[in-house]
Every structure is written in structure tokens, then in C-alpha cells.
Amino acid sequence: MMLRIAALQMNSGTDPGPNLDALAALARDAAAQGAQYALSPEVSAVFAESREGLRAVARPWEGNPAIARCAGIARETGLFLHLGSLAVALEDGRFANRSVLLRPDGSVAATYDKIHLFDATLPGVREYRESATYAGGDVAVVAEAAGIRLGMTICYDVRFPALHRALAVAGADLISVPAAFTVPTGEAHWEVLLRARAIETGCYVIAAAQAGRHQNGRTTYGHSMIVDPWGRVVGALGGEGAGVLVADIDPDAVAEARGRVPALANARQFSLSVNPTGAL
């Protein structure tokens, strides 16, 4: 059974209204091309300038107007609409970077809070502390979408193979990677990481990206991509502006790839011995 999926590439700004209007237009385009499942990028609803800007627009989960709007888009288009992520206000003043999968009837099928947060001090640049703004999740999620098993990740998660392996072992056939990659890291690592995660897991990978120069002053890499379980790039978009990438995927190709290279089945538990002195 073939399944048509779509990656929605966006250039989100700081105001939720226009962003959700843009998402609706892309979802309609995907549905018109026959897609049954569509993924939008990380921070689709709002790509804020700062923590203060985020506080001004982010809302709690209960009664969240962005989710209500996306539920309406799902009902209108008949898609399994996957909002790559939005910031959800938490009681402690931080936010959850939350991915939300909606069924065609607008109900919530699954949510996933980004597990891995980017905390780093970059020499000569500046200090990044994503954990100062966001609370990391601690639950990996596999959900059903349009008859396929979907493993959910967000952006920086792509650098952590153990998460993707856990999703594959739990039954995922397709792994979602909504993202807002910077241009330098995107040029160096984006395609390599996506193809590696597909090859290691024997899963399809769909990556919907933010692209171009944003209202908040940041520039993102774009190049939304769909990769098959053998690591081949099925399709990709460019690095500027919005667009819709559609591809047909075959769940049988997952079993075929895993049969040819049974890395999931062949993996073994092991202990680690560290000998710092080099003595035998």
C-alpha cells in the first residue's frame, strides 16, 4: 500500500496569524496533490525574536488557539496534519517545544515534546542555552498516521541515533524531523544526518524545514527532504522560501531494507572497559 506524504517548507514570522494562514495554504496544496499526511517545520506557529517575544504570543495547551486553528485545517483538508512544533507555555515560565499530530477529524492523535535541547558555548560566538527557555521532554513517541507507524522527533534530536533506534525498534516505519536548522550547520550536516538516520533504522525520514530570512533576523537552511529506508533522497526543496514536497512511500520498502541489512536485529548488548593507563 503506497502512501503519499508531504513536507511543508515555511518561512515563519513572529505573528501567529499569518503563519497559520500560510500553513493552511500549504496544507491545501498538499491535499490537492493527493497527500494523506503532511508535516510542517519546527516553530511553525511562531518563530519569535526572543524569550520575551515568545511569552507575548505562546499559550498554554488547554484551549490553545493555534491547535484549534490547525484542527480546523485538518478537517478542511482531510489530512493527517502534523504540526512540526509550537511553543506551549508551561506553569514554570518555560515552554514545551511540542509536536502535534492531528487526525483528519481534527482530534489530537499524539504529541511529542522535544527531548534534546541545544546547550552549548561556541568559541568566539555566544552561549546558547535552549534549556533556559524550554523544558525538555522525556518520552519518545510512536503514533499511527494514515496507516503507517510514525516516530516523532524535532530538529536537534536528529543528532542522537539512540532515539531513532528506539523509535524503529518500537515499530516506526517513518520518522518525522521538523526543523529550523541554521545555514552553517545545515550546509555541513543536514543531508548527512537525515540519510544516516534512515540507513541506521531502515525507516523513511521526512524532514520539513524553515527556510530563508525570517522576521526575527535569523536565517534558516531549508532544503526540506524525504529519504527512503536505503538512504536515497526521494525529493528535496531548495533553501529559500515556502514550498510543498510530495512523495509516495511504500511501507514494504522498510521490511526490504531491514532484511538486506538487519542492523536492528543484529544489535547486541555489551559492557565497556576503559583502560586509561594503557596497561595490560
Strands 95-102 and 80-89, bridge-based pairing: antiparallel
Judge whether 46 and 85 are in contact, CB under 8 Å: no
State the DSSP string of 236-250: E--SSS-EEEEEEE-
- The cell numbers describing 120, all together, are 552549548
Query: Is residue 114 annotated as a catalytic residue, yes or no?
Result: yes
Can you tell me the mean pLDDT for 127-156?
A: 94
- Within a domain: residue 273? no
- The answer to the question of residue 270 being in a domain is no
The verdict on residue 126 lying in a domain is yes
**Which CATH number is 104's domain given?**
3.60.110.10
Give the pLDDT score at 1. 79
Task: Check residue 147 and give its pLDDT.
Answer: 94
What is the pLDDT at residue 280? Answer: 58
Contacts of 192 (CB under 8 A, 6+ apart): none
Cα–Cα distance between 224 and 2 in angstroms, integer? Answer: 21
Q: Is residue 49 in a domain?
A: yes
| DSSP code per residue over 139-157 | --EEEEETTEEEEE--GGG
Catalytic residue among 155, 191, 200, 203: 155
Residue 160, pLDDT score: 98
Mean residue pLDDT of the chain comes to 95
Q: What is the pLDDT of residue 54?
A: 86
| Residue 246, in any domain of the structure | yes
Residue 269: inside a domain: no
Question: Residue 196 belongs to what domain range?
Answer: 3-260
Q: Which of 49, 52, 114, 240 is catalytic?
A: 114
pLDDT (tens digit per residue) in 164-218? 999 999 999 999 999 999 999 999 999 999 999 999 999 999 999 999 999 998 9
Q: Does residue 252 belong to any structural domain of this protein?
A: yes
Q: pLDDT for 19-61, tens place per residue?
A: 999 999 999 999 999 999 999 999 999 998 788 888 888 999 9
Whether 49 is catalytic is: no
Predicted local confidence at residue 49, as pLDDT:
75
Q: Please count the other Cβ atoms lying within 10 Å of the Cβ belonging to residue 67.
A: 22
Contact predicate 16/48, CB 8 Å: no
Round to whole Å and give the CA distance between 48 and 42.
Answer: 12
Q: Read off the pLDDT of each residue in 145-153 and give the average, rounded to a whole number.
A: 97
Taking alpha carbons only, the member of 109, 114, 116 closest to residue 82 is 109
Q: How many domains does the chain have?
A: 1
For residue 70, indicate whether it is catalytic: no
Residue 26 in any domain: the answer is yes
Q: Whole-angstrom Cα distance, residue 127 to residue 26?
A: 35
pLDDT reading at 278 higher than 80: no
Contacts for 164 with CB less than 8 Å, ≥ 6 apart: 151, 153, 158, 175, 197, 200, 201, 203
Other C-beta atoms lying within 10 Å of the C-beta of residue 235: 12
Enter the pTM of the model: 0.95
Nearest to 165 by CA among 264, 246, 53, 50: 264
What is the DSSP secondary structure assignment for residue 189, as one 8-state letter?
I
Give the residue from 235, 176, 237 showing the smallest Cα distance to 201.
Answer: 176
Confirm if 2 and 250 have CB atoms less than 8 A apart: yes
Cα gap 270→71, rounded to integer Å: 46
In 3D, which of 190, 159, 16, 189 has the Cα closest to residue 87? 16
Beta bridge partners of 206: 176, 226
What's the rounded Cα separation, in Å, for the pair 10 and 23?
8
